[in-house]
Amino acid sequence: MLAEDSLLLREGLASILDRAGHDVRDSVGDADTLLAVVRKEPPDVVITDVRMPPGHSDEGLRAAAAIRAELPAIGILVLSQYVADAYLSTLLETTTGGIGYLLKDRVGHVTEFLESLDRVANGGTVVDPEVVRQLLARRRNDGPLAALTPRELEVLALMAEGRVNASIAEQLVVSEAAVRKHVGNIFAKLRLEEGLDRRVSAVLTYLRG
């Protein structure tokens, strides 16, 4: 399910998804149609632009929040010309994973984009590195994250980007075992309950600051 008001990008996205063997069931150009179509026949994943007609503000984002509230099983990947962590809270208010927020530029890195899409479809969380950078810069000193060491924060930030342990290990130039140890410490320090997807919960805790 695709919602994007620019015909050019809608076609581009559709052809990328087609190539990867995904089935683009519908593509629409505004938020109202998006909601109507999703309610009628829920897809696996919705990819939506933030800014769409009629208001050209954050209609896509609000539609995403509405879908999340009504049909939590649908994965939602939000694309934007421009990312800022302020928009993230709108998405995270109702969410328990299965959400992605990426700069449109990332679509061009086709392989990584498709990986992100898969993660969202499987209930994971993917946040654009740019947003993660903004969150890091915020240097919050209170909340549950205060207990984490800088290294653990780094690992958590990479988890938020949707990376798996192997990829985090590669990025930080450490062994995968070391990453697993950090991840375990993070789960312990954030007091995450067993049973839930702890990786997703940790990331959400991080993103909510």
Residues at the interface with other proteins (CB under 8 A) = 6, 8-9, 12-13, 15-16, 19, 51, 56-58, 81-82, 84-87, 104-105, 107-111, 113, 134, 137-139
Shortest separation between residue 129's beta carbon and other proteins, angstroms: 13
Residue indicated by tokens 């958590």: 156
Shortest separation between residue 53's beta carbon and other proteins, angstroms: 10
Give yes or no for a contact between 49 and 37, defined as CB atoms under 8 angstroms apart.
no
Give yes or no for a contact between 12 and 107, defined as CB atoms under 8 angstroms apart.
yes
Token pair for 52: 């769409």
Between residues 134 and 167, which has the closer beta carbon with respect to other proteins? 134
Shortest separation between residue 115's beta carbon and other proteins, angstroms: 13
Shortest separation between residue 183's beta carbon and other proteins, angstroms: 26
Between residues 50 and 169, which has the closer beta carbon with respect to other proteins? 50
Shortest separation between residue 107's beta carbon and other proteins, angstroms: 5
The three-state secondary structure class of 99 is: strand
End-to-end alpha carbon distance in the chain? 31
Between residues 58 and 161, which has the closer beta carbon with respect to other proteins? 58
Name the DSSP class of 46: E
Shortest separation between residue 114's beta carbon and other proteins, angstroms: 10
Between residues 55 and 184, which has the closer beta carbon with respect to other proteins? 55
Task: Report the candidate in 179, 187, 74, 171 with the shortest Cα–Cα distance to residue 132.
Answer: 171
Between residues 81 and 122, which has the closer beta carbon with respect to other proteins? 81
As a whole number of Å, the CA-based R_g of the chain is 17
Residue indicated by tokens 């839930």: 196
The three-state secondary structure class of 170 is: helix
Between residues 113 and 206, which has the closer beta carbon with respect to other proteins? 113
Token pair for 128: 């654009």
